[in-house]
Amino acid sequence: MGSFNFDPRSARLNTELGLVIDSPALARQIEQAFDVWIPLESYRVQLSADGRLQWFATPPDPGAPPIVYTVEPGSSWLSRWGLRALALLPIEWLL
């Protein structure tokens, strides 16, 4: 099961997999994780008024304002520099 994308990587390697599990108890646990735990460990990304990316984290205390980052959380200056360097390469056809 999976889908084929028309790019060189997908032509050689397709790593998608589908799985169906019939378990109401497991479904409830996964639903609770997405409602409670995953928002605490993820970010909402949007553009600021000046067109820059901002990452919003859910604060651990309910009712507190979101935590806003102006650089990608968990990234180092070296990884950000490397991505900027890669962005200059003419490799869009590979994406």
pLDDT on residue 19: 82
Whose tokens are 């067109």? That residue is: 51
At residue 48, does pLDDT exceed 70? yes
> Hey, what are 13's tokens?
């390697």
* Residue spans per domain, the chain: 22-89
Query: What is the CA 30 to chain-centroid distance, rounded?
Result: 18
pLDDT tens per residue, range 49-64: 999 999 999 888 888 9
At residue 95, does pLDDT exceed 80? no
Q: What's the predicted TM-score (pTM) here?
A: 0.59
Q: Decide if 54 contacts 46 (C-beta within 8 A).
A: yes
Q: In this structure, what is the dihedral angle of CA atoms 61, 62, 65, 69, given to the nearest 10 degrees?
A: 60
Give residue 67's identity as a one-letter amino acid code: I
pLDDT on residue 36: 86
Residues 14, 18: Cα–Cα separation, whole Å: 12
